[in-house]
Amino acid sequence: MNTSTPSPRTPCIHPSILNADFANLARELSRISTADAVHVDVMDNHFVPNLTMGLPVVESLRKATDLPMDIHLMIEDPDQWAPQYAELGCESVTFHAEAAKAPVRLARELHARGTKAAMALKPATGIDQYLDMLGELDMVLLMTVEPGFGGQAFLDLVLPKIRRARRAVDDLGGEIAIQIDGGVNAETILRAAEAGADTFVAGSAVYSAEDPDAAIADLRGLLTG
């Protein structure tokens, strides 16, 4: 066990384009130029009750921005589909623990294709059973709403899980990011950061603002000020 004090990670803001204007996605990407990455929610209307975008749209988005792409797959059978997003040049691909048949093998396959591997957990999914595979991952995404729709309220019941993940990552001594997604705003981001999250997906808090880049700066200022 690593008993040294870990170096704090620089907080990262990943705006979700789920709350953007889908008719003008290239323009919407240009409005978040100061983001650390763009969060792209891929939903299949099977794993979650919503349908968004797939490989062709993500391929077009990849050509429209130089921002790193943080792909969140809320789909059935990520074992088949996740590597294809890596092949598009997306910098990070997240699959759900509840959907992956062989999560360790999938994480290694993503790494072999040159992308970061991340695993997401729904609010009710415990993290303890996955702690042994943290070393295979670059990021853990702890959903702070039920996946499927934007604009939901932050679930404080996930805070203890964030704390457990933070302790496990610190004990491991690695550079594994702890991301949260859902209900992130100027109030909830501080609670999540205190619990140990360091990477924040913000949808409506960014895209409902008149100036999304200014909203990103405000959120970042709360975390670093």
104-119 residue pLDDT tens: 999 999 999 999 999 9
Sign of torsion over alpha carbons 109, 110, 115, 121? negative
Q: What is the H or E stretch that residue 97 is in? A: none
What's the whole-number mean pLDDT along residues 26-36? 97
Is 203 annotated among the ligand-binding residues?
yes
What's the whole-number mean pLDDT along residues 155-177? 95
Q: Which active-site residues does the annotation give?
A: 41, 181
Confidence of residue 7 (pLDDT cuts 50, 70, 90): very low
Is 221 annotated among the ligand-binding residues?
no
What does the domain layout of the chain look like in residue ranges? 12-224
Residue 140: its pLDDT value, please? 98
What's the whole-number mean pLDDT along residues 72-91? 97
DSSP E strands in the chain: the ranges are 12-15, 38-43, 69-74, 92-96, 116-121, 139-143, 177-181, 199-202
Nearest to 36 by CA among 201, 168, 186, 178: 201
Quick one: what percent of the chain has pLDDT higher than 70?
Answer: 96
Q: Does residue 76 or residue 152 have the better pLDDT? A: 76
Residue 152: its pLDDT value, please? 85
What's the whole-number mean pLDDT along residues 12-34? 95
Mean pLDDT of all residues belonging to the chain: 93
188-211 residue pLDDT tens: 999 999 999 999 999 999 999 999
Is 16 annotated among the ligand-binding residues?
yes
Candidate from 2-6, 30-34, 59-63 with smallest mean pLDDT:
2-6
CATH number of 12-224: 3.20.20.70
Query: Can you tell me the distance from the alpha carbon of 108 to that of 158, in angstroms, rounded to the nearest whole number?
Result: 27
138: pLDDT strictly greater than 50: yes
